[in-house]
Amino acid sequence: MTVAVKKLVLGLTTALASMGVAQAATFPEHSINMVVPFAAGGPTDNVARALGEAMRPALGQPIVIENKGGAGGSIGTAQVARAKPDGYNILLMHIGFSTAPSLYKKPGYDAINGMAPIGLVVDVPMTIIAREDFPPNNIQELVQYLKEHKDSVSLANAGIGAASHLCGTMLTQALGVDLLTVPYKGTAPAIADLMGKQVDVMCDQTTNTTQQIKSGKVKVYAVTSKQRVPTLPDVPTMQESGFKDFEVGIWHGMWAPKGTPQPVVDTLVKALQAGLANDEFQKRMATLGATVLTQDANPAALQAKVEQQVPQWGALFKKVGVEPQ
């Protein structure tokens, strides 16, 4: 390269970098696309829509939700990993972010090094539910029934790696039964089929099941949190029901693509923190049984969570013989 060409390249690089800084300083100038990697109207979507509204005042721009379901959430997650890293493409995903790397040969993203974490959002318990006319009336009867009818009971989930799949796998492992599983693009269509009596049983987050449980549209057997859920005080925990080690909480986080400029990440972190502090958001999450993770709404806490969970789930799947597909 001649000296003149080197100077030109250097000049262009500096100009592009300062353009990036200038754009970052005015971010956001228009709406932000937030991918929810599951169907609309489901548990993750419910959190995302409430959060998008709550973040709007801090951002001065709306957050538009894009539902991109499939493969337990890994399709939508991979879409954000590949998106332009300008802050206008972000992701709201949950625990499945850290399980897909052990469940898929090609998850389409690098959970540990391939994204820009923004922060943790909420933690949501799961409920074990069934269609309203499913014969067992409590968890002990459910155990017995599943053992006796394992060939005719169907278990709905939102695909391999989804929270409903993880919890469903824990349940069938704990009971020592194999059930026919029916995968959906999210638990919104799954619970619709459960209420329509097309499938029998599923595990789903309280952010999708609280109302249906309260109105008696589905039958509930247990919650998977350590303590009972305040909005479902009559529902026993799995541990109370005799499953000593059965505890799972579905943490949710927000990410941007790797390479998103630091000032843009900082703006998103501030907006996330403002959103989580919003009264309406807090009330809505409390109604749906979710805990708002205010203290951990920052990149370091989310990254630490992912780095702790990826190997932990990997070891667990290995132990129970689940191979990546």
Nearest to 99, CA basis, from 46, 180, 39, 168: 168
Alpha-carbon distances, residue 305 vs 46, 74, 80, 140, 201 (angstroms): 22, 18, 19, 34, 30
164 touches ligand ASP (CB under 6 A): yes
Distance CA 274, CA 290 (A): 17
191 touches ligand ASP (CB under 6 A): no
Task: State the minimum distance, in angstroms, from the CB of residue 15 to ligand ASP.
Answer: 43
Kindly tell me which of 274 and 322 has the beta carbon lying closer to ligand ASP.
322
253 touches ligand ASP (CB under 6 A): no
Distance CA 156, CA 172 (A): 12
Work out which of 187, 209, 224, 241 binds ligand ASP, going by CB under 6 A.
Answer: 187
Q: Which stretch binds ligand ASP (CB under 6 A): 106-114, 186-194, 225-233, 275-283?
A: 186-194
Binding string, residues 11-40; x marks residues near ligand ASP by CB under 6 A: ---------------------------xx-
Segment 82-111, which members bind ligand ASP (CB under 6 A)?
94, 96
186 touches ligand ASP (CB under 6 A): yes
Kindly tell me which of 43 and 87 has the beta carbon lying closer to ligand ASP.
43
Segment 123-162, which members bind ligand ASP (CB under 6 A)?
158, 162
Residue 3, C-beta contacts closer than 8 angstroms, at least 6 positions apart: none
Distance CA 39, CA 73 (A): 10
The answer to whether residues 49 and 19 touch, using CB atoms and an 8 Å cutoff, is no
Name the β-bridge partners of 254: 92, 119
Distance CA 225, CA 291 (A): 11
45 touches ligand ASP (CB under 6 A): yes
Enumerate binding residues for ligand ASP (CB under 6 A). 38-39, 42-45, 94, 96, 158, 162-164, 186-188, 205
